Amino acid sequence: MNIKFQVDEKEEYTILSFELEGNLPPSELKEVKPPNLIGAKGVVLSGRGPIWLYCYLTHVYHPTRFVATYDPRVGGAVVAETHCKEYSVGDIIKLDI
């Protein structure tokens, strides 16, 4: 499996970074084993990869507090899904990545 995950725990969320070694064929998506994360926190996804990988991970981490994706163009992570009052869709979480 040519994907490596790195977990960085922050107080309110976990930064889940991934790195692809070369290309990830769609047929290997079902072999990807994302790490178990603390559902009481949010998850920030970061890495260069196809959109369907991000959508897959968004679904995997659906039970967590919120899911945000790092976007270098906005200089932070944008909340895409939330189940709490403190974070709204479209909120930007400033990060040093």
Could you list the residues that contact its own copies (CB under 8 A)? Answer: 26-30, 45, 50-56, 58-59, 62, 67-69, 71, 73-74, 78-81, 88-92
| Interacting residues of 47 by C-beta distance below 8 A, sequence separation 6+ | 17, 18, 19, 20, 70
**Min dist. Cβ of residue 27 to its own copies (A):** 5
For 66, how many CA atoms within 13 A lie in the half-sphere containing its CB? 22
Contact, 69 vs 55, CB < 8 A?
A: no
Residue 29 or residue 84: which is nearer to its own copies going by CB?
29
**Min dist. Cβ of residue 33 to its own copies (A):** 12
CA distance 96 to 85: 24
Residue 37 or residue 79: which is nearer to its own copies going by CB?
79
**Min dist. Cβ of residue 90 to its own copies (A):** 3
Residue 41 or residue 54: which is nearer to its own copies going by CB?
54
Q: What angle do CA 46, 88, 55 make, to 5 degrees?
A: 40
| Tokens (6 digits) for 74 | 């906005």
**Min dist. Cβ of residue 9 to its own copies (A):** 21
